[in-house]
Amino acid sequence: MTPIPTSATNSVRAQENYARRLVHQLDQSADQLPHAVLERLRAARVRAVASRKSHVPQTAQSFQQMGSSLAITPNDGSSSWSKLISFLPLLALVLGLIGIHELQNDRNAHELASIDQALLLDELPPDAYTDPGFLKFLSLPNPQNADNR
Amino acid sequence: MASELELADFLKGVEKRAFKRSLYHVRDEEAALDIVQDSMMKLAEHYADKPAGELPMLFQRILSNTTLDWFRRQKTKNALFSNFNDFESTENGDEVDFLEFSSHTQDTEMSESAENTVSQAQNLQEIEQEIKKLPARQREAFLLRYWEELDVSETAAAMGCSEGSVKTHCSRAVHALMTALKARGIHI
């Protein structure tokens, strides 16, 4: 009979040896699985590997699309989605130009309206500005006229 | 990135143990098959871009999580919910001398006779029964560490616990199995 070591290291080693002999028995159990179970496992494995096939190309394609859209370069035309992404910057530029044009039109109209409003609200009739005599009167340096107004 | 062949070979090598491991937990053959199939699908769909060397640890973690999800669903359905809550092992004060078993087996020789084959099959059943009786965390640590041959750090990562906990669970599991099998008169 083998003498019994007392050190903790030997005890741990013996524990691991026992565990490995135990799982060796479990290996035998796993090798004796029924045929139906083995077939189900095989089918599951095949399905999983097929699933990998369908996922990996999609991932690669998505990276390709991302790269083409970032570079703003036309794709090979195989994907309508990539075409749409390529046109987005152009669409944004056109919409921006239209917006700027409308804004400038509004600003000009507002300026003209404010001038018209000032003329209409003034006590002096607008026709006075077309009278040459009135214009000459305005050019005269006469402070009394200004005070009387 | 694992190739298609590497993935297929890995799954082929691990599928039987995965099924048995799941079966020890859920004790339902159909459920165990479903869990293994779901785990394979998750690995292939979400981790196909990982290197082949990372597949074992990833798969074991997925299998553990899928098994846990199964128990959660069962609990939600108010169905049979056995002893998966028993994550915390009870303290086993019985000291077991591993070396007694070790020395015993050194004197034992394997026989291929028919009688021994029947005896081995019976022993195997009893070993599996004792493994099923282990607390869930101890069983998980024992199977990952010794059957799946993950090292302590990989087992800890797969179980989501510390390396110290793995060592404790493994030690207690082996002690419990050794005591129970000795009581049944089974020497390995």
CB count in 10 Å sphere of residue B59: 23
B105 and B141 housed in the same domain: yes
Question: Is the same domain home to B110 and B153?
Answer: yes
Residue B40 in domain: yes
Q: Which of B15, B37, B139, B136 is nearest to B82 (CA)?
A: B136
Scan for tokens 């019985």, then name that residue.
Answer: B94
CB contact under 8 Å between B12 and A40, yes or no, is: no
**Cβ–Cβ below 8 Å for A48 and B174:** no
A67 has a pLDDT exceeding 60: no
Q: Domain boundaries in chain A? A: 8-71, 86-149
Kindly state whether residues B50 and B114 are assigned to the same domain: no
Task: Note the pLDDT of residue B110.
Answer: 47
User: Which of B76, B108, B123 is the endpoint of a domain?
Assistant: B76
* Same domain? B47 vs B9: yes
Cα B134 to Cα B25: distance, rounded to the nearest angstrom:
10
Measured distance CA(A54)–CA(B38) in Å, rounded: 17
CATH at B24:
1.10.1740
A48/B43 touch (CB, cutoff 8 Å), yes or no: yes
Q: Decide if pLDDT at A71 tops 90.
A: no
Q: How far apart are CA B70 and CA B81, in angstroms?
A: 10
What pTM was estimated for this model as a whole? 0.58
Judge if B55 and B20 occupy the same domain. Answer: yes
- Total number of domains in chain B: 2
Q: Cα-Cα-Cα-Cα dihedral of B19, B25, B30, B34, to 10°?
A: -60
Contacts B170 to A, Cβ<8 Å: 19
pLDDT along chain B (188 residues), means of 10: 83 91 89 93 88 87 90 73 49 45 47 63 85 91 90 88 92 91 84
Q: Complex ipTM above 0.90?
A: no
Residue for token pair 């669903």? B73
What string of DSSP letters covers A75-131?
--S--HHHHHHHHHHHHHHHHHHHHHHHHHHHHHHHHHHHHHHHHHHSSS-GGGGG-
- Measure in Å the smallest separation between the Cα of A30 and chain B Cα atoms: 6
Q: Select the more confidently predicted residue: B187 or A63.
A: B187
Q: Between residues A80 and B127, which one has the greater pLDDT? A: B127
| Residue numbers of the domain that contains B65 | 4-76
pLDDT digits (tens, 9 = 90+) for A29-50: 888 888 999 999 999 999 998 8
